[in-house]
Chains A and B, each alone.
Chain A
Amino acid sequence: DQQVKQNSPSLSVQEGRISILNCDYTNSMFDYFLWYKKYPAEGPTFLISISSIKDKNEDGRFTVFLNKSAKHLSLHIVPSQPGDSAVYFCAARTQGAQKLVFGQGTRLTINP
């Protein structure tokens, strides 16, 4: 049972344009969501998070949007830069729990 789904295994975006990565979830008990970025041969690094009491959180070029009614969140990167090329994982956590439930990841490639 895949509770967190990233349906696009890969995405290619031109440098300078907006990258939009999507994530859907099925568990209505999730109340905290995170995005991690992973380069090859490295562990995932935390990027940005959002609590279920908000619908938007922004940090520099990165913005996460949460639509609770649709059980959908997205990560916007603008403008996209070559260094953003990586695998992006969406993750979620239920209230009171510490373990994260991850999606399968989306490989983002930024083309010069």
Chain B
Amino acid sequence: GAGVSQSPSNKVTEKGKDVELRCDPISGHTALYWYRQSLGQGLEFLIYFQGNSAPDKSGLPSDRFSAERTGGSVSTLTIQRTQQEDSAVYLCASSENRGRGETQYFGPGTRLLVL
């Protein structure tokens, strides 16, 4: 079966440019998460979507970061005016979120390099 997919797999951009990262969750999963992993660090929570509820944006590091989820499925993470410290692997995960303890399934990530 299809897992979580992300695109692009790699992105190189110049400082100051905007980038969009895409996530296709597992079909039927109502919860979607974005995390990022900077070099040598663990995964850092960015944002969480659950159905039609307001997203939990508590992990977004600055107002240059935003995300949306259209139709309860595909999500796009946008980073405006990229900075070198934004370089990281951006990981998307989804889960069924029927209750407690559900597993989050991760995509392969988008490796972002800001020059």
Name A's B-contacting residues (CB within 8 A). 4, 6, 32, 34, 36, 41-46, 49, 51, 89, 91, 98-105
Contact = CB atoms under 8 A, between A and B. Distances in A.
Given A89-B42, A104-B41, A43 B59 contact: no
Given A32-B100, A43-B4, A46-B103, A102 B108 contact: no
Given A104-B41, A104-B42, A105-B42, A98 B56 contact: yes
Contact of A89 (B31, B43, B93): B43
Interface residues of B, number: 28
Contact of A32 (B31, B50, B101): B101
Contacts of A44: 43, 91, 106
Given A98-B31, A98-B56, A104 B48 contact: no
Nearest to B44: A102
Contacts of A4: 42
B56 A103 contact: no
A102 to B, nearest CB: 4
B101 A102 contact: no
B91 A101 contact: no
